[in-house]
Amino acid sequence: MRLLGMVVAVLFVAAGLAFPAAAAAQTTSQTASIKGGGTTEEMTHFALAISDGRGHFECLMPALMNVQATVTSAEMTGASSASFVGTAYVTLPAGNPLGLPPGRIGPAPFTATAASGGPGVGQLDLKIMGMDFPGTVEHGQIQIGT
C-alpha cells in the first residue's frame, strides 16, 4: 500500500511539472494594431484604424462596392502580418458588375489579412460575401504591431 501511495505522489508531481511545460509549448496569439491607408493596384481605396484588436476598416472599390467594417478581433500572424475579423455594411451602386441590386447589405461577416509595407510590399486581402479581394499597396502604407 505504501508503494501505491508513492506512485500516486510521483504521478502528481510529474503532472505538476509537465503542465507548465505543456502550457509553454502552446502558442499564444498577440492582439494586433493595424493602421494605414492608401490604394491598391486595383484602385481600391482603403483605411485601417485598429488598436488592440478592435477598430474600423473601410474600403471603396469604385463602381463595385463600399465596405464600412467594424473590427472585433485582430491577431498577429507573423512578424509583420495580421488577420482581422468583424462585421461590415456593404453598399452596392446601381449597375454593379456583381449583378446584385443596389443598396446597403449587412451586417455581413468578413475576414481579412494584412501585411506591413508601402508600395509593392504591403498587402490587404478582404473576404466578404463569398468573394475574395486581394491587393498590393500601390500608394500609401500599412503598419502592423502589437
> Looking at the domain assignment, is residue 18 inside a domain?
no
> Looking at the domain assignment, is residue 136 inside a domain?
yes
C-alpha–C-alpha distance, residues 135 and 45, integer Å: 10
C-alpha–C-alpha distance, residues 29 and 16, integer Å: 24
Which helix (H) or strand (E) element contains residue 20?
Answer: helix 2-25
- Average pLDDT for 132-138: 96
> Looking at the domain assignment, is residue 140 inside a domain?
yes
Higher pLDDT, 19 or 92: 92
Q: How confident is the model at residue 73 (pLDDT cuts 50, 70, 90)?
A: very high
48 and 37 Cβ atoms separated by less than 8 Å: yes
> Looking at the domain assignment, is residue 10 inside a domain?
no
Q: How confident is the model at residue 28 (pLDDT cuts 50, 70, 90)?
A: low
* pLDDT tens sequence across 40-61: 988 899 999 999 999 999 999 9
Share above pLDDT 90 across residues of the chain, in percent, rounded to a whole number: 75
Instruction: Say whether pLDDT at 72 is over 70.
Output: yes
Q: What is the pLDDT of residue 146?
A: 85
> Looking at the domain assignment, is residue 41 inside a domain?
yes
> Looking at the domain assignment, is residue 78 inside a domain?
yes
Q: 74 exposed, middle or buried (CB, 10 Å; 0-12, 13-18, 19+)? A: buried
User: Domain span at residue 39?
Assistant: 33-145
Q: What is the pTM of this model?
A: 0.78
- The C-alpha cell at 94 is 446601381
Give the count of domains, the chain: 1
